């Protein structure tokens, strides 16, 4: 045997060839069999674009996060989390256990502040932006990339990711369930079951709108029961069993698809543990379990015809107002989806239509409920935009669609300038030219449409006109979305009341009140937070702003001067205590209320374009600051 191993194969060498030994030949063979791998093979254009989307999305959510003071609805949740952080018992029975748990952890890590109170929403907003990565196999990389970008810059998603609300968490949990189920049914991997279980735990502990999602998903499943049953059986058959389960006999393995496998059991245990931890802040708030069960009752109460203080505008109005690109592209995607036979896409269509219907009949809907309909619509819009991008790549040409796009941006931009000039000018009764200046915008739109159809007529190809019109609409819709999102999320506080999505925001006078208290405290107590305050009838927003003042005495009503040495007294605007001549009062508006209903046509157009108007918001809840003078 050794002699055989020592033998080498010899051959005649080429005159210009260097003789090669056997070991060298073996090395070359190994090198040819195992070529070098590129360590940067993962750095594709898609990966770079995803990275850009993530950086932009996270930056937009964190930048100036505490710029606006907390509204009453935000402060109500944040104060409960602050009680948990301080070790106090939470007596309220109406709150989001998930937000209280996550915010309590945020306070522990970063201390309490307006920005910290909103970190939980930032967390769920970022997760919602990343979840499209989980559906690349089913919907394609282009659709998922566009969906992630739309989640990142959507004015509605961005605003709800920067305010304290439970609806952003409900939307995230719903998409986790959706993605987890369809991925698990395809390959049976355990991680997808964990994603589904985690999403269900997030959903049930987030807020009452979780049951809107449950009802919509249940109806979609019942409508296509046979198809979903087949998916369930397929997922069970492909689930990777544990080592103990794999030792079952062939007879037992035939019954596996109808039994709960160890993988399903582990997912169930994970769900129960996650539900317990999220609802009770890791058992530090045991009352959260009972509040979680009461969310269903709260959800039912929102279908009452009685108006609620936290009731918001319907989803149809808000989507049209802020998400014009997503609405138009989403309706096109909905038409494509209804004509298809793909169960996942049809489920997205059912989710959108069902959520929209529930939103219309829920009179006590919270303002953030619009995101329940927006999430599937973003997916439908992404599918339509990906089809447009594919068609442009295959048939598009810079000499056709490119010219239409360039002319559309220039002409419609010119029309926009004319429109804004008409809006800002005060036209006299006899100034006919000024009154008809809006016709410049109409003429610009008409000219652009003529150019669009001219290209299709000359080239004898209607597809050129349709693609040019679609890509121009997409670009202009994107510009409008960015503009609306910027004004909504980063505009001055005085204009926030003009944003229907903001509900009832805090007033600028709220900050004036706190500044006045700080100045008086510095003068009288030599410290900005040490002044004596007697407080009556405060709103959650005011209580949040006063959380750092150390000498606050709470009372149900003030009918006479405080018996203490208090020098500052705050009362509600409807309470007029007999404090005597030693006190002087100044009222402050705590929040602002405004509605576009009843605006004249020109003012309405101005508001639609700029999200502001000359009509001042109404003063909402007010507080009177009674200052006792003559003391130092």
Residue 630 scores a pLDDT above 80? no
**Same domain for 161 and 17:** no
- pLDDT tens digits along 320-369: 999 999 999 999 999 999 988 899 999 999 999 999 999 999 988 999 99
DSSP string of 174-199, one letter each residue: HHHHHHHHHHHHHH--HHHHHHHHHH
What residues contact 402, with CB distance under 8 A and at least 6 apart? 396
Q: What is the CA radius of gyration of the chain?
A: 31
**Same domain for 133 and 218:** yes
Pairwise pLDDT comparison (381 vs 565), residue with the higher score: 381
User: For 414-418, 533-537, 557-561, 607-611, which range has the lowest pLDDT when averaged over its residues?
Assistant: 557-561
Residue 596 lies in a domain: yes
pLDDT value at residue 242? 45
Scanning the structure block, which residue is given the tokens 């949740």? 77
pLDDT band at 310 (very low <50, low <70, confident <90, very high): low
What residues contact 536, with CB distance under 8 A and at least 6 apart? 554, 555, 556, 557, 558, 569, 570, 571, 572, 575
Residue 112 lies in a domain: yes
At 225, list the tokens.
Answer: 């029961």
pLDDT band at 78 (very low <50, low <70, confident <90, very high): very high
- Helix H segments across 491-600? 508-525, 540-545
pLDDT band at 6 (very low <50, low <70, confident <90, very high): very low
How much of the chain exceeds pLDDT 90, in percent?
Answer: 58
Q: What is the mean pLDDT of residues 270-275?
A: 96
Taking the C-alpha atoms of residue 69 and residue 54, their distance in angstroms, rounded to an integer, is: 26
Pairwise pLDDT comparison (283 vs 534), residue with the higher score: 283
Residue 101 scores a pLDDT above 50? yes
Specify which residues 626 forms β-bridges with.
569, 585
Residue 4 scores a pLDDT above 70? no
Residue 76 scores a pLDDT above 90? yes
**Same domain for 406 and 369:** no
pLDDT band at 13 (very low <50, low <70, confident <90, very high): very low
- Domain housing 474: 396-490
Residue 500 lies in a domain: no
pLDDT value at residue 107? 94
Cβ atoms 631, 524 nearer than 8 A: yes
**Same domain for 237 and 203:** yes
At 48, list the tokens.
Answer: 């770079």
**Same domain for 466 and 381:** no
Burial class (CB in 10 A: 0-12, 13-18, 19+), 82: buried
Residue 40 lies in a domain: no
Residue 552 scores a pLDDT above 90? no
Q: What is the mean pLDDT of residues 623-632?
A: 73
**Same domain for 276 and 260:** yes
Count of domains observed in the chain = 4
pLDDT value at residue 389? 94
Longest dimension (CA), the chain: 121
**Same domain for 588 and 464:** no
How much of the chain exceeds pLDDT 70, in percent?
Answer: 86
Residue 9 scores a pLDDT above 50? no
- pLDDT tens digits along 216-252: 999 999 999 999 999 999 988 887 554 344 445 444 4
Residue 269 scores a pLDDT above 70? yes
Residue 605 lies in a domain: yes
pLDDT value at residue 241? 52
Q: Indicate the residue among 333, 356, 388 that finishes a domain.
A: 388
Pairwise pLDDT comparison (110 vs 246), residue with the higher score: 110
**Same domain for 457 and 341:** no
Residue 92 scores a pLDDT above 80? yes
Q: What is the mean pLDDT of residues 512-535?
A: 89
pLDDT value at residue 632? 47
Residue 456 lies in a domain: yes
Burial class (CB in 10 A: 0-12, 13-18, 19+), 427: middle
Residue 32 lies in a domain: no
This prediction's pTM: 0.89
What does the mean pLDDT of the chain come to? 86
**Same domain for 479 and 403:** yes
pLDDT value at residue 532? 86
Cβ atoms 314, 359 nearer than 8 A: yes
pLDDT value at residue 576? 65
Q: What is the mean pLDDT of residues 197-203?
A: 97
Q: What is the mean pLDDT of residues 171-195?
A: 94
At 420, list the tokens.
Answer: 């804004």
pLDDT value at residue 36? 58
Q: What is the mean pLDDT of residues 361-378?
A: 94
Residue 242 lies in a domain: yes
pLDDT band at 27 (very low <50, low <70, confident <90, very high): very low
pLDDT value at residue 34? 52
Taking the C-alpha atoms of residue 22 and residue 8, their distance in angstroms, rounded to an integer, is: 7
User: Cα-flanking dihedrals φ and ψ of residue 504, to 5°?
Assistant: -115, 90
Contacts of 389-394 with C-beta under 8 Å, sequence gap 24+, read 389/142, 389/146, 390/142, 391/463, 391/467, 392/467, 392/471
At 364, list the tokens.
Answer: 């006590």
pLDDT band at 210 (very low <50, low <70, confident <90, very high): very high
pLDDT band at 255 (very low <50, low <70, confident <90, very high): very low
pLDDT band at 574 (very low <50, low <70, confident <90, very high): low
**Same domain for 362 and 400:** no
User: For 141-150, 450-459, 490-499, which range has the lowest pLDDT when averaged over its residues?
Assistant: 450-459
pLDDT value at residue 247? 45
- pLDDT tens digits along 472-500: 999 999 999 999 999 999 999 999 999 99
**Same domain for 222 and 151:** yes
Q: What is the mean pLDDT of residues 390-395?
A: 92
pLDDT value at residue 257? 47
**Same domain for 536 and 471:** no
């Amino acid at each position: 045997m050794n002699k055989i191993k020592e033998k080498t194969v010899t051959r005649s060498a080429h005159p210009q060839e260097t003789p090669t030994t056997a070991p060298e030949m073996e090395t070359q063979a190994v090198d040819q069999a195992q070529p070098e791998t590129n360590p940067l093979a993962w750095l594709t254009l898609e990966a770079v674009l995803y990275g850009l989307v993530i950086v932009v999305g996270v930056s937009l959510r964190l930048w100036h996060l505490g710029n606006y003071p907390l509204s009453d609805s935000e402060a109500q949740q944040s104060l409960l989390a602050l009680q948990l952080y301080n070790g106090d018992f939470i007596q309220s029975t109406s709150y989001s256990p998930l937000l209280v748990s996550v915010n309590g952890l945020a306070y522990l890590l970063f201390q309490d502040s307006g920005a910290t109170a909103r970190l939980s929403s930032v967390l769920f907003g970022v997760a919602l932006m990343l979840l499209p990565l989980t559906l690349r196999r089913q919907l394609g990389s282009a659709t998922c990339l566009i969906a992630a970008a739309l989640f990142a810059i959507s004015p509605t998603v961005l605003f709800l990711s920067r305010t304290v609300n439970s609806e952003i968490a409900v939307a995230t949990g719903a998409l986790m369930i959706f993605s987890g189920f369809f991925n698990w049914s395809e390959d049976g991997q355990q991680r997808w079951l964990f994603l589904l279980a985690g999403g269900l735990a997030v959903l049930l502990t987030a807020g009452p709108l979780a049951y809107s999602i449950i009802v919509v998903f249940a109806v979609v499943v019942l409508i296509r029961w046979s198809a979903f049953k087949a998916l369930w059986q397929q997922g069970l058959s492909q689930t990777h069993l544990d080592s103990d389960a794999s030792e079952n006999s062939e007879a037992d393995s035939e019954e596996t698809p109808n039994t709960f496998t160890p993988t399903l059991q582990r997912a169930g245990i994970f769900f129960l543990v996650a539900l317990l931890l999220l609802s009770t802040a890791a058992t530090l708030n045991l009352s959260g379990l009972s509040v979680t069960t009461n969310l269903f009752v709260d959800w039912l109460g929102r279908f009452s015809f009685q108006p609620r203080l936290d009731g918001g505008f319907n989803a149809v109005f808000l989507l049209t107002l802020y998400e014009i690109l997503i609405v138009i592209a989403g309706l096109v995607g909905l038409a494509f989806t209804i004509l298809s036979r793909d169960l996942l896409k049809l489920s997205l269509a059912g989710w959108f239509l069902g959520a929209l219907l529930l939103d219309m009949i829920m009179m006590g809907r919270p303002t953030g409920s619009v995101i329940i309909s927006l999430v599937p619509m973003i997916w439908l819009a992404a599918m339509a935009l990906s089809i447009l991008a594919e068609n442009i790549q295959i048939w598009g040409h810079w000499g056709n669609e490119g010219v239409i796009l360039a002319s559309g941006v220039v002409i419609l931009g010119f029309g926009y300038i004319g429109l804004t000039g008409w809006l800002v000018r005060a036209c006299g009764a006899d100034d006919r030219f000024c009154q008809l200046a809006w016709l410049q915008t109409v003429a610009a739109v008409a000219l652009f449409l003529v150019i669009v159809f001219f290209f299709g007529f000359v080239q004898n190809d209607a597809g050129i006109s349709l693609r040019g019109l679609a890509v121009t609409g997409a670009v202009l819709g994107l510009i409008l979305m960015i503009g609306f999102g910027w004004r909504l999320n980063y505009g001055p506080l005085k204009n926030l009341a003009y944003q229907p999505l903001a509900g009832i925001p805090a007033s600028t006078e709220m900050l004036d009140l706190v500044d006045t208290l700080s100045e008086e405290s510095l003068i009288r107590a030599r410290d900005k937070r040490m002044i004596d305050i007697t407080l009556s009838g405060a709103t959650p927003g005011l209580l949040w702003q006063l959380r750092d003042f150390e000498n606050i005495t709470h009372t149900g009503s003030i009918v006479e001067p405080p018996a203490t040495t208090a020098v500052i007294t705050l009362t509600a605007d409807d309470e007029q205590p007999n404090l005597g001549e030693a006190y002087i009062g100044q009222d402050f508006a705590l929040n602002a209320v405004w509605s576009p209903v009843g605006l004249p046509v020109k003012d309405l157009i101005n508001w639609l374009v700029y999200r502001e108007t000359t009509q001042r918001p109404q003063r909402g809840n007010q507080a009177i600051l009674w200052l006792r003078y003559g003391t130092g």
